[in-house]
Chains A and B, each alone.
Chain A
């Protein structure tokens, strides 16, 4: 089964999500945090924006150094935020996959109920066959499983 399109959509949303998070952290620390002067933003705080763990938007890592000083507390808060966002992102990804499977199941059940003696083919976003159920046996036709939809067409004018 192909989830390339879903993955692309999720990656795009994740990128936007982490850019937003990234910008939020910078703004919070430079403008809002009373114990951190604005000029400090050019010193230790740049560690946040330059941290490769955050810049890796697809799989960010909460690896900012957590010391006992004020900066350590800021980094700890940032790490906690990253972990929460990461957890939420993974949950959404799992939900999306689950929804895809459920959708395929109910579409197939609906089609079979209206057409018990017929043949039902379901193709994904890349036109690969997800299911090919023939005449009520409820079993996928192995030869067409994962085949490209257009490869199944043997019309004389098409081949």
Chain B
């Protein structure tokens, strides 16, 4: 089980790449996919987090 903060940090570092991992968020287990969108590629959205219950 990965730390959600670490996964988010990795997503910010690997901007433009989808980072996946199992996380605990608000006391629930999820399979997470996080995408940090490069600034020049988006007007509004910076981070997209998809959480699938596991």
- Spell out A's residues near B (CB within 8 Å): 1, 3, 5-6, 96, 99-101, 103-104, 107, 111, 114-115, 117-127, 130, 149-150, 152-155, 157-158
Contact = CB atoms under 8 A, between A and B. Distances in A.
B43 A6 contact: yes
22 contacts: A1-B44, A99-B43, A101-B44, A103-B42, A103-B45, A104-B44, A107-B48, A115-B52, A117-B53, A120-B48, A121-B48, A123-B46, A123-B47, A124-B44, A125-B46, A126-B46, A130-B44, A153-B4, A155-B4, A155-B24, A157-B3, A158-B3
A103 B48 contact: no
How many of chain B's residues touch chain A, expressed as a range? 20 to 34
Contacts, number: 82
B37 to A, nearest CB: 9
A149 B47 contact: yes
Given A118-B52, A155-B3, A127 B47 contact: yes
Contact of A111 (B25, B26, B48): B48
B45 to A, nearest CB: 5
B51 A121 contact: yes
Contacts of B46: 123-127
Contact of B45 (A107, A114, A154, A157): A107
A125 B40 CA distance: 11
Given A124-B45, A125-B44, A115 B50 contact: yes
- Name the residue among A107, A118, A127 with the largest chain B CB count within 10 angstroms: A118
Contact of B43 (A103, A119, A122, A123): A103
A153 to B, nearest CB: 5
Given A125-B39, A155-B5, A118 B44 contact: no
Contacts of B8: 149-150, 153
Given A115-B52, A119-B51, A149-B8, A130 B39 contact: no
Interface in B16-51: 24-26, 30, 39, 42-51
